[in-house]
Amino acid sequence: MNIIIFGPPLAGKGTQSKKIINDFGLTHLSTGDILRHEKDEKTDLGIQASEYSKKGLLVPDDLVVKVVEKFYLKNSETKGLLFDGYPRNIAQAKHLVEFLKEQNDTIDLIIHLDVKNEELFKRAEKRALEQNRKDDKDPEIVKTRIKEFGAFTLPAVDFIKSQNIKTVSIDGNESIDSIYEIIKNNINSCIK
Ligand code: AMP
């Protein structure tokens, strides 16, 4: 079973992803986490990607697509993947649909967390203190990341939805537990 979790930066994708992985045994594919790790390891990929990420911009598709394919092939024994932060634009969405088709695989569920921009800014301030993520600290960079989501990722959500994949949109302002309850019910109904 493969799931995509979509939402603007700071919508709570990471928090919900942890719960999903814990309960359903899926493997977390977070392109943001992989790119941050590559940067910490000072690999070419990490250094190249951070030139974009530090400005709040999306990293070029050719870099990210390779990361996703490599991760997928390395985790071929998994029960399923939870895509968090991928796809981020229509080209990546098309890539994912095609790539999974080649692998005789599919996406079973799309989870869309919807959160208003004002709330995202509040959360950025809080997370900047808690996790020391540089891209949360500067409100201008947060603004750019939110804009990138609206300009590129929302159209990708629509593209994926048009592929007749079961989708659930959830108000991300609800409590962590009530959001997860909805997610859990939807995943369970995919399993049945
Ligand atoms: P995230 O942790 O998902 O918020 O991602 C942090 C940063 O990594 C983003 O602002 C982008 O610069 C980069 N990034 C993560 N995933 C992608 C992706 N699928 N496509 C392009 N850039 C990405």
pLDDT band at 40 (very low <50, low <70, confident <90, very high): very high
pLDDT band at 171 (very low <50, low <70, confident <90, very high): very high
Distance (Å) from CA 45 to ligand 1 centroid: 13
Alpha carbons 147 and 137: distance in angstroms, whole number: 16
Distance (Å) from CA 157 to ligand 1 centroid: 15
On the question of pLDDT at 192 being above 80, the answer is no
Q: With b meaning 16 or more CB within 10 Å and e meaning fewer, what string describes 167-184?
A: beebebeeeeeebbebbe
Q: How many CB atoms lie within 10 A of CB 48?
A: 15
Interval 56-110: pLDDT, tens = 999 999 999 999 999 999 999 999 999 999 999 999 999 999 999 999 999 999 9
Distance (Å) from CA 103 to ligand 1 centroid: 24
Distance (Å) from CA 192 to ligand 1 centroid: 33
Mapped onto helix, strand or coil, the DSSP state of residue 87 is: coil
Distance (Å) from CA 53 to ligand 1 centroid: 7
Interval 4-24: pLDDT, tens = 999 999 999 999 999 999 999
Q: Please state the atom number of ligand 1 nearest to the C-alpha of residue 9.
A: 4
Residues 6+ positions from 16 with CB-CB distance below 8 Å: 5, 111, 113, 176, 179, 180, 183
Alpha carbons 128 and 134: distance in angstroms, whole number: 7
The pLDDT value given to residue 128:
85
On the question of pLDDT at 191 being above 90, the answer is no
Burial of 52 (0-12, 13-18, 19+ CB in 10 A): middle
Q: What average pLDDT does this structure show over 26-52? A: 96
Q: Say how far residue 71 (Cα) sits from the centre of its chain.
A: 14
DSSP structural state of residue 111: E
Lining ligand 1 with CB less than 6 A are 9, 31-32, 35, 52-53, 56-59, 64, 85-86, 88, 92, 135, 145
Among protein residues, the one with the nearest Cα to ligand 1's atom 6 is: 32
On the question of pLDDT at 167 being above 80, the answer is yes
Query: What's the pTM value of the predicted model, to 2 decimals?
Result: 0.94
